[in-house]
Structure 1
Amino acid sequence: MIEVRDLRVRYGTRVVADVPVLDVGEGECVAIVGESGSGKSTTLLSLLGLTPDAEISGQIRVCGLDVRTAPPRRLREIRGARAALVMQSPQAALSPATRLGVLMRRALRLHGREATEQIMSEAMEAVLLDPALLRRYPHEVSGGQAQRFAIALAIALGAEVILADEPTSALDVTVQAEVVGVLRRLRAERGLALLLVSHDLALVSTIADRVLVMKDGVVVESGAAAEVLAAPSHPYTRELLEALP
């Protein structure tokens, strides 16, 4: 679903992300971890061509599409419909003057999809949300509900891969567990691929198959999540683990 080789994201003379290899297969979860400013989010955004001011080199393929050479029309077909971005604070990305149902219906139509009540309700139920919430405005739902609505929107659009940037960082522990449970179930039931950016190693250990550890824009360690988190080989990874409360 995602295939990256020798990715470099540069602003002027500064390299802010250097990722030699990043692969995410169907039904797989790969996590990118590291402290703030380590290049995690920049890497994520570059995979969908959302770093317009950056100079990018290397190979990026998402759902079979060469992101670096694809024309804007082809990129728009992939974004949302096949590869969905779930941001850290979805409420900030949703129009405050538009009901959730109108937002979902509009997105479906923009991508040439059916926007029936059944499709929308089934997407909401898939993330354990009451379809009645579609009648509410973004400020009338909680942070966890907004996060799950963003995932429901990806499901309604038929996304095959979700790129999630700190999807649980602003949520309390109980709601975090609900969101992670939804993502885990969607992987199992639908073969959804997941690329997760997080600084929360405890969360990553519960869902990720593989982990990339980034520091100062560079991948310093990668491998199976169980191995990297249980027996890290790089001093920085050990520092991250020792910082856990």
Structure 2
Amino acid sequence: MIEVRDLRVRYGTRTVAHVPELDVGAGECVAVVGESGSGKSTTLMALLGLTEGAEVSGHVRVCGVDVLTAPERRLREIRGARVALVMQSPQAALSPTTRLGVLMRRALDLHGVDAGERAMAEAVEAVLLDPAILRRYPHEVSGGQAQRFAIALALALGAEAVLADEPTSALDVTVQAEVVGVLRRLREERGLALLLVSHDLALVSTIADRVLVMKDGEVVESGAAARVLAEPSHPYTRELLEALP
């Protein structure tokens, strides 16, 4: 679903992200971890062709589309409909004057998805929300509910891959567990490919199959999550693990 080789993102003469290799298959979860400013989110944006003003090189293929050479029209066809982006604070992207059901309907219409009210309700139920939430405004739902609504929107659009940028950092521990549980179940039941950006290694250990560790824009360590988190080989990875409370 996601295939990256020698991805480089530059602003002027400075390389802010360099990823030699990254693959995410259907039903897999790969996590990109590191401190703030390490290049995690920049890498995520590059996979969707959203690094405006940057020089991006290498090979990036998402859902069969070569992101770096495809025209903008082709990229718009896969964004949302085949690969969805779930941001850290979804409430900031939701119109405060529009009910969630209307927002979902607009997104479906925009992408040409012919889905009725039942399909919308099923997408919401899949993330363990009551369909009645579709009648609410964004300020009437909690942060965890808004995050799960964003995931439900991806499901309603038929997304095959989800790019999640710090999806639980603004949530309390209990709600974090709920969101992670939803992502894990969708990955297992629907074969969703999940690329998770996070600085929370404890969270990553519960869901990721493989991990990439980034520092100062470079991948310093990668491999199976169980190995990287239990027996890290790079000093920086060990520092991250030692910093866990």
TM-score by structure 1 length? 0.99
Q: 1:72: how far off?
A: 1.1
1:16 aligns with 2:16: yes
Once residues 91 and 7 of structure 1 are traced to their aligned partners in structure 2, the CA distance between those partners, rounded to angstroms, is 31
SS in 1 for 2:244: coil
Q: Which residue of 2 aligns with 1:32?
A: 32
Matches within 5 A, 1:99-178: 99-178=99-178
1:62 aligns with 2:62: yes
Give a deviation string over 1:162-187, Cα, whole Å, max 9, x none.
00000000101110000000001001
Q: Which residue of 1 aligns with 2:190?
A: 190
Q: Which residue of 2 aligns with 1:41?
A: 41
Q: 1:124: how far off?
A: 0.3
Once residues 78 and 52 of structure 2 are traced to their aligned partners in structure 1, the CA distance between those partners, rounded to angstroms, is 17
Q: Which residue of 2 aligns with 1:233?
A: 233
Once residues 98 and 14 of structure 2 are traced to their aligned partners in structure 1, the CA distance between those partners, rounded to angstroms, is 40
Once residues 90 and 160 of structure 2 are traced to their aligned partners in structure 1, the CA distance between those partners, rounded to angstroms, is 20
Give a deviation string over 1:188-243, Cα, whole Å, max 9, x none.
11000000000000000000000000000000000000000000000000000000
Residue type of the alignment partner of 2:113: R
Q: 1:114: how far off?
A: 1.5
Residue type of the alignment partner of 2:58: G
Give a deviation string over 1:68-124, Cα, whole Å, max 9, x none.
111111101100000000000000011111110000000001111113110100000
Once residues 170 and 116 of structure 2 are traced to their aligned partners in structure 1, the CA distance between those partners, rounded to angstroms, is 32
Q: Identical aligned pairs, as a percentage?
A: 87
SS in 2 for 1:53: coil
Cα RMSD after superposing both structures = 0.5
Matches within 5 A, 1:75-90: 75-90=75-90
List alignment gaps of at least 5 residues for structure 1: none
Q: Give the paired residue count.
A: 245
Residue type of the alignment partner of 1:32: V
Once residues 148 and 106 of structure 1 are traced to their aligned partners in structure 2, the CA distance between those partners, rounded to angstroms, is 18
List alignment gaps of at least 5 residues for structure 2: none
Residue type of the alignment partner of 1:120: M
SS in 1 for 2:206: helix
TM-score by structure 2 length? 0.99
Residue type of the alignment partner of 1:172: D
Q: 1:127: how far off?
A: 0.1
Residue type of the alignment partner of 1:222: S
Once residues 174 and 149 of structure 1 are traced to their aligned partners in structure 2, the CA distance between those partners, rounded to angstroms, is 17
Residue type of the alignment partner of 1:96: P
SS in 2 for 1:139: helix
Runs of 4+ in 1 over 4 A off after TM superposition: none
Once residues 95 and 22 of structure 1 are traced to their aligned partners in structure 2, the CA distance between those partners, rounded to angstroms, is 34
Once residues 146 and 40 of structure 2 are traced to their aligned partners in structure 1, the CA distance between those partners, rounded to angstroms, is 22
SS in 1 for 2:27: coil
SS in 2 for 1:122: helix
